[in-house]
Amino acid sequence: MLGWLDPFDVEGPNERRRVEVLKTVACGERRDYVWARLLPPLAPGAIAGEGILEVVLLAPRHAGYVLKSPLSEAVHVYVCSVPGVESELPDDVAPESVEVEFWGVVYPCGGNEPVSNEGTD
C-alpha cells in the first residue's frame, strides 16, 4: 500500500481512499507516474467523470516527488484517467491522452492508518 488519497480542493465530503500502486508508467518525458488502484473506487459523478474510477493514473504535481512505498511525506498528485485503457495497463501513455480528474494528496500510512504531516515543519 502506498498511502491514503484525500481529494484536495473538492466541494462536499469525500472519504479517504487507499492507494495501491500497480506499476510505474512513462508519460512523455516524465517517468514518475504510476497506475494505482483506489479502494474504495470513486462512484460516477462523486468527484469527476461519469464512470467508476478504480484504476487511475497518479502524477506528482511537483518535480522531485516519487510515488514509491514507503512515502516519507505527503505528495500532491493529479488523479488522472486515460480513456480507452481497460484491463491491460500500458507502460507508456501519450500526454495528450491523459485527462486530469481532480487534484489530491497522498498521505503516508503507518500500518493501515494515515500518518499526518501536520506539525513536522
pLDDT at 53: 85
- pLDDT confidence band for 44 (50 / 70 / 90): confident
pLDDT tens digit string along 64-111? 898 998 898 999 999 999 998 877 999 999 999 999 988 999 999 865
pTM for the model stands at 0.84
Parse the chain into domains and list their residue ranges.
3-110
Most confident of 12-16, 21-25, 60-64, 101-105: 21-25
The residues, any chain, with a CB within 8 Å of residue 89's CB and separated by 6 or more, are 22, 23, 25, 35, 55
Rg of the chain on CA atoms, in Å: 14
User: What is the rounded average pLDDT of the residues 1-23?
Assistant: 83
1: its cell numbers: 500500500
